[in-house]
Amino acid sequence: MKPLGLYVHIPFCASKCAYCDFASWAGREQDMARYVHALCGEITARAAACGHPAADTVFFGGGTPSLLPPELFEKIARTLRASFALTEDAEWTVECNPGTLTPAFADALARCGVNRVSLGMQAAQSRLLRQLGRIHDMHGVTEAVETVRAAGIANISLDLMLGLPGQTRADMAETLDHALALSPSHLSCYALIVEEGTPLAAAVERGEMRVPGDEMDREMYALCRTALLRRGFVQYEISNFALPGRQCRHHVNCWRREDYLGFGCAAHSLWENERRANCASLDGYLAGMEPETESISPQDAMFESLMLGLRLTQGIDEADFARRHGQALWTVYGQRLQGALSDGRLIRRDGRVFLTERGMDVMNSVLVEAMA
């Protein structure tokens, strides 16, 4: 059996960003120790129920994992190591907010074997960061990168956002320049999504802010893509770019629909064709509410493989698809994908099926046709 991926959700933030609808809470620091106790209990019990399997990636997301006191982070890392057979070369990633990362926390990461840090930079301009409710500026990002490197962690990813209210092409170009000057090994470039119920959505609705729109989003995306390819980055997924060999293994495994176990409030798992969703509220999780489980039908499993696999620039390995699902991809979807193949959105070559650059821009249209 292939080693698993492990995901740990840390639902605490210093303050809530204007665009964020993730499961995260500000002002709940007093619950951290209780949360970590419950989390470690969940890790221990689930690992035993699954037979203490091997794992080769660990990803701490949130929320803001770097808000945890170092000793609580170390407690979680120890529990993971005691519960799973973690491979020696396992990838350990921790998402950090540049506004909360301290040298003591970075040193704790290094002691625990963390070898990859993902920093939420988002933009270089203070006015855009303030508008998003971010708690750092560009200087804070530079300092955070130095802190991570000083702790001995060389593999650093930066998250950037595009399509922000008031963001111009010149802002995007400047953000890329600043990001690249920090020599990251990986960049994620995500378009802003205005999520219902957030302060940002309310401001857009009141007409106080305007988002640039799809055409501008695409221009900024093209700007990012061109600049990063020119600097030797490889695009391996719609929004993700890495120097050779520095792809996020954890995320690639998710896009390949490999099994993973998620721990903590709002965490999801995929294990032997069962999806499990932990309680999405912090209070519910602390009160011990049971997760919801759903077994995935063979048809849904195949569609998930298609939907996730097409996000990768390498696309889907047809032999692997047939091995996992017992049916050939082209037998199931060939007829419905013929249109995308003929008009240049999709390519089928050397045993793989993948989207072209234009196809990535309109991926949803390909999926809608595949579902029809």
- Least separation in angstroms between residue 122's CB and ligand SF4 is 9
Enter the tokens of residue 87.
Answer: 């491979």
Among 3, 5, 63, 98, binds ligand SF4 (CB under 6 A): 63
Please choose, out of 18-26, 39-47, 194-202, 283-291, the segment that lies near ligand SF4 by the rule CB under 6 A.
18-26
Give me the least distance between CB of 358 and ligand SF4, in Å please: 31
Residue number, 47 or 96, with CB nearest to ligand SF4? 96
Q: Which stretch binds ligand SF4 (CB under 6 A): 57-65, 152-160, 173-181, 350-358?
A: 57-65
We find the least distance from the C-beta atom of residue 136 to ligand SF4, in angstroms, to be 10
Look-up of token digits 């702790």: 151
**How many binding residues for ligand SF4 (CB under 6 A)?**
10
Residue 13 CB burial class (10 angstroms; 0-12, 13-18, ≥19)? buried
Q: Which is nearer to ligand SF4, 63 or 212 (CB)?
A: 63
Q: Which of 5, 43, 46, 64 binds ligand SF4 (CB under 6 A)?
A: 64
43 binds ligand SF4 (CB under 6 A): no
* 3-class SS letters over the chain: CCCEEEEEEECEECCCCCCCCCCCEECCHHHHHHHHHHHHHHHHHHHHHCCCCEEEEEEEEECCHHHCCHHHHHHHHHHHHHHCEEEEEEEEEEEECCCCCCHHHHHHHHHCCCCEEEEEEECCCHHHHHHHCCCCCHHHHHHHHHHHHHCCCCEEEEEEEECCCCCCHHHHHHHHHHHHHCCCCEEEEEECCCCCCCHHHHHHHCCCCCCCCHHHHHHHHHHHHHHHHHCCCEEEECCEEECCCCCCHHHHHHHCCCCEEEECCCCEEEECCEEEECCCCHHHHHCCCCCEEEECCHHHHHHHHHHHHCCECCCEEHHHHHHHHCCCHHHHHHHHHHHHHHCCCEEEECCEEEECHHHHHCHHHHHHHHHC
* 50 vs 135, beta carbon nearer ligand SF4: 135
* 161 contributes a contact to ligand SF4 by CB under 6 A: no
Interface with ligand SF4, residue 22, by CB under 6 A: yes
The stretch among 19-27, 140-148, 164-172, 262-270 that binds ligand SF4 (CB under 6 A) is 19-27
Specify the stretch interacting with ligand SF4 by CB under 6 A; choose among 12-20, 188-196, 210-218, 287-295.
Answer: 12-20
Q: How many C-beta neighbours within 10 Å does residue 87 have?
A: 12
Residue 97 touches ligand SF4, criterion: CB under 6 A: yes
Here the tokens at position 338 are: 């013929």
Indicate whether 66 belongs to the interface with ligand SF4 (CB under 6 A): no
> Does residue number 24 form part of the binding site for ligand SF4 (CB under 6 A)?
yes
Q: Which one among 3, 5, 62, 262 touches ligand SF4, defined by CB under 6 A?
A: 62
* Among 8, 17, 38, 310, interactor with ligand SF4 by CB under 6 A: 17
Is the four-CA dihedral 260, 255, 192, 158 of positive or negative sign? positive
Q: Is residue 20 close enough to count as binding ligand SF4 by CB under 6 A? A: yes
Chosen residue from 4, 6, 8, 13 binding ligand SF4 by CB under 6 A: 13
Shortest gap between Cβ of 7 and ligand SF4 (angstroms)? 14
Task: Decide: is 140 part of the binding site for ligand SF4 (CB under 6 A).
Answer: no
Task: Check if the beta carbon of residue 316 is closer than 8 Å to that of residue 310.
Answer: yes
User: 16 or 324: whose CB is closer to ligand SF4?
Assistant: 16
Of 64 and 253, the one with the shorter C-beta distance to ligand SF4 is 64
**In the complex, least distance from residue 292 CB atom to ligand SF4, rounded to whole angstroms:** 22
Q: Which CB, 3 or 63, lies closer to ligand SF4?
A: 63
Q: Does residue 250 contact residue 93 with C-beta atoms inside 8 Å? A: yes
* Interface ranges with ligand SF4 (CB under 6 A): 13, 16-17, 20, 22, 24, 62-64, 97
